[in-house]
């Protein structure tokens, strides 16, 4: 019975530990490992990354939220530390630009199609108009020659 | 001959109108390409290792610890402009930079405090390194686990913070200092000439 209780406690402890580790990693993959350029803290085993993961773990135990922990690192390292640029503030053009390009493309293509649907009509009009004008001028010239 | 009617102009335009539209499209692309090239070239001249610190303009975070001789120390120390240099005996770039700091500590003695942050180092190694190359620092705080470094947003050694007499960080250099840079920045940040 005692043994059962002990093992029960132990596995509960292990599960808790596991969930904690996963939480740490969830946050760590959102932070750039400052010394390894394009890796996240979660993927890196560099000394700095290991220490940052330890800090994330401690702050989680202290009851800090993910946003608060990420902000802690941003205050010290700047937005550079974020793997994804912020969607608000200075980072917003980065997120909006592709959307704007696609919208602009659709707009231009739509406009071009709209224009191209007519041209046969328009050119016919112009050419008949021109024909008539030229014909009348030709007639004028002929009248003069007479 | 009579004056040219509007028909003359129009008859000229008709065969060209298709080609003109295409050419105008290409012309519209040129400023776009120029802008993108300009952004690319500006980007290429920038050093990805130099990231501006968000701490500039803020008070140095309070850091306390033990220096290499075992004395309790506290940052920021107010009263005099300070250079906080992050160094380590394992850091090869620090060796070359050290000559600059040793010379500057003599030259600016009394005007600027030179304080070290011994980053992720072993105390005996650090002390041996200083006795070999000279010790320009008033004291060097030990940062065994790199926690003080993270508090300061340190990427690695060497790095240097310029801190004014009120304890506010006014500048940061990632990588080794050289004589000209140090001289220029001491003038710029603290108005210290000579």
CB contact under 8 A, B120 and A77: no
- Reported ipTM: the value is 0.72
pLDDT (average), residues B21-50: 78
Lowest mean pLDDT among A14-18, B80-84, B95-99: A14-18
- Cα–Cα distance measured from residue A67 to residue B122, given in angstroms and rounded to the nearest whole number: 35
Name chain B contacts of A123, Cβ cutoff 8 Å: 14
- Cα–Cα distance measured from residue A126 to residue A129, given in angstroms and rounded to the nearest whole number: 5
* pLDDT tens, position by position, A94-114: 788 888 889 998 998 888 888
Q: Which residue of B has its CA nearest to A125?
A: B14
- Contact B153/A at CB under 8 A: yes
3 state DSSP class of B113: strand
Which of A74, A127, A133 is opposite residue B14, by nearest beta carbon? A127
Comparing B58 with B13, the larger pLDDT belongs to B58
Lowest mean pLDDT among A85-89, A92-96, B51-55, B77-81: A85-89
Residues of A with CB under 8 A from a CB of B: 34-35, 37, 47-48, 51-52, 55, 74-78, 80, 123, 126-127, 129-130, 133-134, 137, 140
Name the pLDDT band for B7 (thresholds 50, 70, 90). Answer: very low
* pLDDT tens, position by position, A38-81: 789 988 888 889 999 999 999 999 999 999 999 999 999 988 88
Which of B14, B48, B54 is opposite residue A78, by nearest beta carbon? B54
Whole-number average pLDDT of chain A: 82
pLDDT (average), residues B32-59: 81
The predicted pLDDT at position A60 comes to 94
- Nearest CA-CA partner of B87 in B76, B77, B74, B101: B101
Which of A35, A130, A137 is opposite residue B156, by nearest beta carbon? A35
- Contact B175/A at CB under 8 A: no
- Contact B147/A at CB under 8 A: yes
Name the pLDDT band for B25 (thresholds 50, 70, 90). Answer: confident
Name the pLDDT band for B2 (thresholds 50, 70, 90). Answer: very low
- The DSSP output letter for A40 is B
Quickly tell me which residue has 């993108």 as its tokens: B36
- Most confident of the ranges A128-137, B14-23, B152-161: B152-161
Task: Return the CATH number of A1-84, one of 3.30.70.2190, 1.10.8.640, 3.30.70.1350, 1.10.580.10.
Answer: 1.10.8.640
* pLDDT tens, position by position, B93-114: 999 999 999 999 999 999 999 9
Name chain B contacts of A51, Cβ cutoff 8 Å: 145-147, 150
> Does B24 score more than 80 pLDDT?
no
**Residues facing B141 on adjacent strands:** B67, B117
Name chain A contacts of B6, Cβ cutoff 8 Å: 133
Quickly tell me which residue has 């686990």 as its tokens: B145
Four-residue CA torsion sign, A118, A124, A125, A126: positive
Quickly tell me which residue has 């304890």 as its tokens: B167
The predicted pLDDT at position A144 comes to 83
> Does B159 score more than 70 pLDDT?
yes
A40 contacts A31 by C-beta, under 8 angstroms: yes
Percentage of residues in chain B with pLDDT exceeding 90? 66
Q: Which residue of A has its CA nearest to B61?
A: A76
pTM exceeding 0.90: no
Work out the minimum CA distance from B7 to partner chain A, whole angstroms: 6
CB contact under 8 A, A51 and B150: yes
């Amino acid at each position: 019975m005692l043994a059962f209780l002990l093992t029960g406690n132990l596995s509960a402890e292990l599960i808790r530990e596991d969930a904690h580790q996963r939480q740490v990693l969830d946050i760590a993959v959102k932070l750039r490992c400052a010394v390894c350029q394009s890796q996240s803290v979660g993927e890196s085993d560099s000394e700095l990354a290991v220490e940052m993961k330890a800090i994330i773990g401690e702050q989680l135990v202290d009851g800090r939220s993910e946003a608060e922990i990420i902000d802690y690192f941003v205050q010290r390292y700047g937005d550079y530390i974020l793997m994804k640029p912020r969607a608000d503030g200075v980072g917003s053009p980065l997120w909006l630009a592709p959307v704007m390009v696609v919208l602009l493309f659709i707009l231009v293509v739509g406009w071009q199609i709209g224009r191209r649907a007519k041209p046969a009509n328009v050119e016919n009009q112009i050419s008949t108009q021109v024909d008539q004008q030229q014909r009348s001028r030709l007639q004028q010239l002929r009248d003069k020659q007479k | 001959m009579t004056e040219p009617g509007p028909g003359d102009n129009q008859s000229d335009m008709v065969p060209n109108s298709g080609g003109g539209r295409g050419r105008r499209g290409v012309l519209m692309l040129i400023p776009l390409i120029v802008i993108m090239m300009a952004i690319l070239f500006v980007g290429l001249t920038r050093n990805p290792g130099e990231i501006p610190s968000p701490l500039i303009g803020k008070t140095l975070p309070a850091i306390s610890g033990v220096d290499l001789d075992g004395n309790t120390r506290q940052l920021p120390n107010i009263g005099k402009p300070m250079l906080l240099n992050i160094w380590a005996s394992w850091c090869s770039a620090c060796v070359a930079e050290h000559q600059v700091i040793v010379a500057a500590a003599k030259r600016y003695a009394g005007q600027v405090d030179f304080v070290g942050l011994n980053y992720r180092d072993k105390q005996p190694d650090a002390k041996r390194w200083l006795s070999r190359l000279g010790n320009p620092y008033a004291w060097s705080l030990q940062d065994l686990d790199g926690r003080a470094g993270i508090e300061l947003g340190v990427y690695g050694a060497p790095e240097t913070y310029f801190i004014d007499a009120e304890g506010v960080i006014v500048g940061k250099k990632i990588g080794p200092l050289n004589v000209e840079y140090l001289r220029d920045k001491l003038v710029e940040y603290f108005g210290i000439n000579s």
